[in-house]
Structure 1
């Protein structure tokens, strides 16, 4: 585990839901682009899109327990991703992480 990994800041920022992936994408563009940051940006972007999709789906129904479960689940996955970025690891998010890597492979 390397302590001074390039791209750590955009990797961590990418897990801030909604705006984080956009900020991280702009930080990781051009000559400063790193594979480490790109990996975490794909994970954060996928998590944000999942959050929006589930939110839109659940907004059609009045089920407070389902909404609370979604918030808790997404928050736990975002914290997991953020902690792996802080530790300098490239572990996928449980359940959906491999799909995010495939869907957003061009990032």
Structure 2
């Protein structure tokens, strides 16, 4: 019987075994869903760490008494759809590594 050995790192403190490629934190699903549902408030921007862009979207929506939501809502919807249609690796590289703030 032949046994295949995969490269693994073992954390001796906790006894947890993980692969040699640690999984990158990917916020694609949550950012995409929040962009679609609450895009006018910029919540998806805050999830990705884009505080300036999120604050802009939030303030435009609130300070215009909701009139700005007619512009910010579709922007959030489009961004949410873009997030969900990108591959995991492409999303991670574009929005979490390179910090592309808009579209």
TM-score, normalised to structure 1's length? 0.39
Flag the structure with higher helix content.
1
Which protein, 1 or 2, shows the higher relative CO under an 8 Å CA cutoff with sep ≥ 6?
Answer: 1
Flag the structure with higher strand content.
2
Q: Which of 1 and 2 has greater Rg?
A: 2
TM-score, normalised to structure 2's length? 0.40
